[in-house]
Structure 1
């Protein structure tokens, strides 16, 4: 049995400061981010973060425990009028003892009014990956090429739900089904005032997800990542508005995954998800996402047709497979825009598509992972990632098609 303890935080001082800085009246509604300087809970205890509007009926934004959080980090961004922290403690035996200091410390509550968030989204401020910028713009002189994900001509991508009607119905239905393991990532970057959007996808059958290293570069980025599955329209042209950052929220959300492997050279990061505060059983997740994706061991084939499920600009899921009205294909195996020997293609991507899988239409396996633009756009070859994960001894089970 667990006993709850509740705390309520609201950014009154921050609102006053923001009002003075902008010269305008600012409402309390906005984005809240908590900064933890210390976090050390028993594995069985949980700290749940909720928007303050109605914690009884509103889904939790984050669930932190000794299993998935430790040390110094920023929380997932919370949208609302305030934040409720609810600590659920499991009674322990009197005989139990520990030499460590249990508990947590929140030293800062960062707040941005909704008006300023809307303005930043309207301006589409970008820092390495597309952002909701909650503070000053960050210098992006280093590795600018990683941010140049490109539309090659007019945007020919469609909302994921429209793929069956926009192409051969059977082929489009398979594309839609294979896009279900693809997720939108929102990442609180290290200064706590920036939300970066990327794309990731389920790799193999043990709860792993892969994206770009320039999205999740270290343990703190992983801890500050929210993963949304099925963040997409439920029907084609059904009236839902997905073309905004965070549009069409996903019904399946996972926070604070654990970093497993990272490579700056190959620009990939692999994390493992915690489902309902446990990493033991992923069957429920796979049922909802129609399974997981797998690499093709042999990689890309020149001129083969491909498609890319993605979350460009942090929008709801879209699928791209055309270039100038014709099926997109692998144009090169030696693109050098971002690194040597990337897979090259003209299919449309935009910032936020970083980490998207590139699938071959012949077998619907992943032949590369998108990470770079320039027309040709570039993806890291599947076989390079497989080799590196194998060398590190962390290649997820079921991650390579047989």
Structure 2
């Protein structure tokens, strides 16, 4: 799969004509029947074996789409389209936008022949209906695909409309008793902890079997991000992940308890996988832009966690807006064990509340605000990989980012 940088027009465009005037217009109104959780099969496109051949020539006007298709699903929290094939002339493009002008997500996504190719997911639009349109450049000499060894045109075979929280091998990340985590803004007065939480991102990972929420965070000063292996284990996963920062409520009373709640800023829609380790359940990726100067970054403690030390966990449980787990029902959160079994040997354990989607969160020491463990598994107590193991492994592989420990 090849997925290259795509351009995003950040402003909405008005409908220039009704669907009746489009060169071709089709629609799909989806039901709850899915191939996988939150995935709906569809079949449409232009060229590449579809019913409509790719336009051989165009006239001088390119203001109207040559093809349009409406995807509509009343159950959708978002829509992310999967291209099975994508190979256009370099200046032609496919455009996606919300069909309902009343939605807050006014972005217009454009995928050009010179910046996108192959098999990939689009970015997700927060809407229940999208219009997929093909625009072609005026030419009288015929068209040629960017990659002449692949079919000319594009094909869509499914789309994702719901995401599920990612968990480790089916383990249940736990709220231990009542949920004592709070909206991140409730801890603004704890300035060091709140500042550390700025480096934490909400991840939406598009995989063939469905979309999944995880948490990740900026590690070191070179633009790297770390999460769990069970979240991102391949370059295909990294290439189809949305990295969203500042997804949190503006006040303590803001309720962000919904998937994709309290939207922030999606700063990257793909990354380069540096390494993913199953045994230590970590994945290190590098974002296409270094955000450490804007959001700060976290460091791993080389010596690891200490028994009974106070800790806190900034996270995106269930894909909600950012929360910080700092207290338990019995007081401040602490490390309760350094040798807990279960998902891995000798894990760091604690009773701070997490949920599915918290996978990949940093477990941060109150004393020095370094990361002492990488959260990855639940069960009350919840558990994490000790930071010294991560540091030692990355140093041995010569992939430890600058200022990461």
Which TM-score band (shorter chain)?
A: 0.7 to 0.9
Q: Does 1:143 align with 2:169?
A: yes
Q: Which structure is higher in helix share?
A: 1
Tell me the residue number matched to 1:302.
307
Q: Does 1:262 align with 2:288?
A: no
Q: Tell me the distance in 1 between the aligned counterparts of 2:159 and 2:256.
A: 27
Shift in alpha-carbon separation, 1:16–1:157, aligned structure 2, 3 A = closer
Tell me the residue number matched to 1:248.
262
Kindly indicate whether the alpha-carbon contact (under 8 Å) linking 1:48 and 1:86 is maintained by their aligned counterparts in 2: yes
One of 179, 187, 198 as aligned partner of 1:163: 187
What is the correspondence of 1:113-152 to structure 2 with a 5 Å cutoff? 128-129=166-167, 143-144=169-170, 147-152=171-176
Shift of 1:34: 2.2
Shift of 1:353: 0.6
Q: Tell me the distance in 2 between the aligned counterparts of 1:206 and 1:87.
A: 38
One of 68, 81, 84 as aligned partner of 1:34: 81
Q: Tell me the distance in 1 between the aligned counterparts of 2:201 and 2:334.
A: 23
Q: Tell me the distance in 1 between the aligned counterparts of 2:23 and 2:194.
A: 41
The alignment's C-alpha RMSD in Å is 3.6
Kindly indicate whether the alpha-carbon contact (under 8 Å) linking 2:298 and 2:404 is maintained by their aligned counterparts in 1: yes
Rg larger in structure: 2
Query: Structure 1: any 5+ residue segments left out of the alignment?
Result: 19-25, 90-96, 130-141
Shift of 1:217: 1.8
Q: Tell me the distance in 2 between the aligned counterparts of 1:75 and 1:173.
A: 37
Q: Tell me the distance in 2 between the aligned counterparts of 1:208 and 1:62.
A: 26
Q: Tell me the distance in 2 between the aligned counterparts of 1:263 and 1:305.
A: 28
TM-score, with structure 2 as normaliser: 0.72
Tell me the residue number matched to 2:211.
195
Tell me the residue number matched to 1:219.
235
Kindly indicate whether the alpha-carbon contact (under 8 Å) linking 2:96 and 2:130 is maintained by their aligned counterparts in 1: no
Kindly indicate whether the alpha-carbon contact (under 8 Å) linking 2:94 and 2:132 is maintained by their aligned counterparts in 1: no
Shift in alpha-carbon separation, 1:51–1:98, aligned structure 2, 3 A = closer
Count of matched residue positions in the alignment of Structure 1 and Structure 2: 337
Q: Tell me the distance in 2 between the aligned counterparts of 1:253 and 1:368.
A: 25
Shift of 1:14: 4.1
Shift in alpha-carbon separation, 1:15–1:359, aligned structure 2, 3 A = closer
TM-score, with structure 1 as normaliser: 0.73
Shift in alpha-carbon separation, 1:383–1:60, aligned structure 2, 3 A = farther
Deviations along 1:186-213, one digit per CA (max 9) or x if unpaired, are 112223xx22111100111121111111
